[in-house]
């Protein structure tokens, strides 16, 4: 089941204050939310996922939260599930990930011959 546009709009509204550069893109029926061009939140089946990193673990610990984990799509590594209704945590998570994650490299397009 793909994520709904309404849910994606809700996620966007929850974290829009995190930065002036929040965007999202539909990918394979689900969504990726970007902050400062960095992919920070993965939205699959109306669930918000974040990478399992020491920094994200520490942030959850600061909020005394033991996050659930899940696999956003077949073949993916386990991710933490972010309670997007916890606005303060969600904004901090987006800001944290925007600082530590790299900007994806642009893929070169193959020339059609």
Residue 26's CATH number: 3.90.1150.20
β-bridge mates for residue 38, sequence order: 35
Q: What domain range is 27 assigned to?
A: 5-100
Number of domain units in the chain = 1
Report pLDDT for 24. 96
Going by their DSSP bridges, the two strands 79-82 and 30-35 should be labelled as: unpaired
| pTM across the whole model | 0.89
Structure tokens at 77: 């590594």
Residues of the chain with pLDDT under 70: 1, 111-113
Report pLDDT for 108. 75
Q: Which residue has the tokens 């520490």?
A: 58
Report pLDDT for 103. 83
Q: For residue 39, tell me if it sits in a domain.
A: yes
Report pLDDT for 42. 96
Q: How far is Cα 13 from Cα 10, in angstroms, rounded to an integer?
A: 5
96 within 8 A of 59, measured Cβ to Cβ: yes
Q: For residue 107, tell me if it sits in a domain.
A: no
Q: For residue 16, tell me if it sits in a domain.
A: yes
């Amino acid at each position: 089941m793909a994520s709904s546009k309404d849910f994606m709009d809700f996620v966007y509204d929850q974290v829009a204050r995190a930065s002036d550069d929040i965007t999202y893109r539909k990918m394979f029926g689900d969504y990726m939310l970007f902050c400062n061009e960095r992919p920070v939140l993965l939205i699959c089946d109306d669930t918000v996922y974040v990478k399992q990193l020491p920094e994200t673990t520490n942030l959850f610990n600061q909020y005394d939260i033991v996050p659930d984990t899940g696999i956003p799509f077949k073949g993916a590594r386990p991710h933490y599930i972010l309670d997007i209704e916890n606005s303060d945590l969600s904004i901090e998570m987006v800001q944290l990930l925007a600082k530590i994650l790299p900007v994806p490299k642009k893929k070169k397009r193959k020339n059609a011959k």
